Amino acid sequence: MNFTDVLSNAFRGAFGPEAAIYALAAVGLNLHFGFTGLLNFGHVGFMLVGAYGVAVSVSTWGLSLWVGLLVGIACSIVLALILGIPTLRLRGDYLAIATIAGAEVLRYFYRSDWAAPLTGGVYGLRQFANEFFALNPYSSDLALGPLYFSARNLWVMTAGWALVILASLLVYLLIRSPWGRVLRAIREDELAARSLGKNVYAYKMQSLVLGGVIGGIAGALIAIATQSVNPDNFNPAVTFYLWAIMILGGASTILGPIIGSMIFWFLATFLDSFLRNATASGVIPPDLLSGPDVGALRFVFVGLCLLLLMIYRPAGILGDPKELRLDVR
C-alpha cells in the first residue's frame, strides 16, 4: 500500500488534462443551466461535433488543425441552432428531451457505416493533432516531488487551463452585464422577462449557442489531447459527469465548474488509485475485489461522495445556500 502514489495520482487527476477539459465543458453547461436555466442533457453532443470537426477536417479532408478547430466551432453553432430553433419557444423540458436525444442520435450517426468514410465509423480517427504538439514549448517532463507530468500533458494542460480561464473570464464579464441580468431573469421566470419587453427566445438562443461553442471547444481539446476520436467516448455518461461537476462546484457561480471538475477528478482518480493499490497489495482480498471491477466501483464511490455533498452542501461547494432556500414558492 503506497499512499504517496495514491495521493500523487489523485493530484495529477485534479490538475490533469481531463480536469481542464471537463471544467471547460462545464463552464458552457453552467452558462446554459446555471445562468439561463436551460435544461441541456446532451452537452456531450456539442463536445462530439467539436471533436469530430477537428478530426474529420485534418484526417479526412487534409486541412490544417486550426481550420479544423473553426469547423468544430461552426458545427457546435449549427447543432445549437438545430436543437434550439424548434424547442426554445416551448417549455423547458422539451429542450431537455431534444438535447438528450440529439446527442445520442449524433453518436449513432458518427459511428454508422454510412458515415464511416468521413468519420472512421466505430474505429474513429487518430493522429491528427501533430500540428498542436509541434508547438509544444516544454522540452522536458516535469517532476514536482512525487507529482509527475509528461511534456505532452503539460502542453495540453497549459492550453486547457488557459482556455478554462479565458472562458470563465468571458462568462464573468457577460453575466455581470445587463445581458447577463436578462439571462438570469429568464432563469427565474421567462414570462416575467417577456412582460418587460425582453425577446426571451433570442436570449435563450444566444446562451445555447455560446455555451455550445464552449462545449465544442472542450470536445476539440479532448480530440487533440488524445490524438484520437471515437464516437463511443462521447456517451451520455459524459453529460452526467458534467452535471455532477457543475452541481458539485456550485451552479450559477463563475468558479464552480472549475472547482467542481478538480474535486471530481481528484475523487475519481484517488478512489481508482486507492482501490487498485489496495487490491494489488492484498489489503483488500483479491476474491472480494479484482482489477477489472475497480473501474466500475470507483464511480459508485464517487456517487456516494456526491450524495454526501448534496446532503451537507446542497448548493455546491461555492454556491450560496441562501439561494436554495428561496426556491420554496
**Which residues would be at the binding site for other proteins (CB under 8 A)?**
170, 173-174, 177-182, 184-185, 187-189, 191-200, 206, 210, 252, 322-323, 326-327, 329
Angle between helices 43-55 and 92-111 (to 10 degrees): 30
Smaller CB separation from other proteins, 77 or 294 = 77
Q: Which of 160, 168, 173 is nearest to 29 (CA)?
A: 168
- Give least dist CB 44 to other proteins, A: 25
- Give least dist CB 81 to other proteins, A: 15
Rounded to an integer, what distance in angstroms lies between the CA atom of residue 201 and that of residue 207?
Answer: 10
Smaller CB separation from other proteins, 192 or 308 = 192
- Give least dist CB 46 to other proteins, A: 18
Smaller CB separation from other proteins, 212 or 231 = 212
Smaller CB separation from other proteins, 75 or 200 = 200
Q: Which of 246, 235, 216 is nearest to 111 (CA)?
A: 235
Rounded to an integer, what distance in angstroms lies between the CA atom of residue 212 and that of residue 78?
Answer: 10
Per the CB < 8 A criterion, the answer to whether 48 and 241 are in contact is no
Question: Cα-flanking dihedrals φ and ψ of residue 321, to 5°?
Answer: -60, -20
Smaller CB separation from other proteins, 35 or 155 = 35
Smaller CB separation from other proteins, 34 or 231 = 34
- Give least dist CB 179 to other proteins, A: 4
32: which DSSP letter?
I
Give the number of other CB atoms < 10 A from CB of residue 219.
33
Amino acid of residue 81: L
- Give least dist CB 89 to other proteins, A: 10
- Give least dist CB 316 to other proteins, A: 14
- Give least dist CB 326 to other proteins, A: 3
- Give least dist CB 199 to other proteins, A: 5
Angle between helices 256-280 and 151-175 (to 10 degrees): 150
Rounded to an integer, what distance in angstroms lies between the CA atom of residue 197 and that of residue 228?
Answer: 47
Question: Cα-flanking dihedrals φ and ψ of residue 15, to 5°?
Answer: -110, -5
Q: Tell me the three cell numbers of residue 322.
A: 441562501
Smaller CB separation from other proteins, 127 or 177 = 177
Rounded to an integer, what distance in angstroms lies between the CA atom of residue 184 and that of residue 30?
Answer: 12
- Give least dist CB 180 to other proteins, A: 7
Smaller CB separation from other proteins, 30 or 273 = 30
Smaller CB separation from other proteins, 145 or 197 = 197
Q: Tell me the three cell numbers of residue 276.
A: 487498485
For the purposes of burial, counting CB atoms within 10 Å of the CB of 289, is it exposed (0-12), middle (13-18) or buried (19 or more)? middle
What is the torsion angle, in degrees rounded to the nearest 10, for the CA atoms of residue 127, residue 128, residue 131 and residue 132? -90
Given its phi and psi angles, is residue 285 left (phi above 0), alpha (psi -120 to 50 degrees) or beta?
beta
Matching residue, cell 505532452? 152
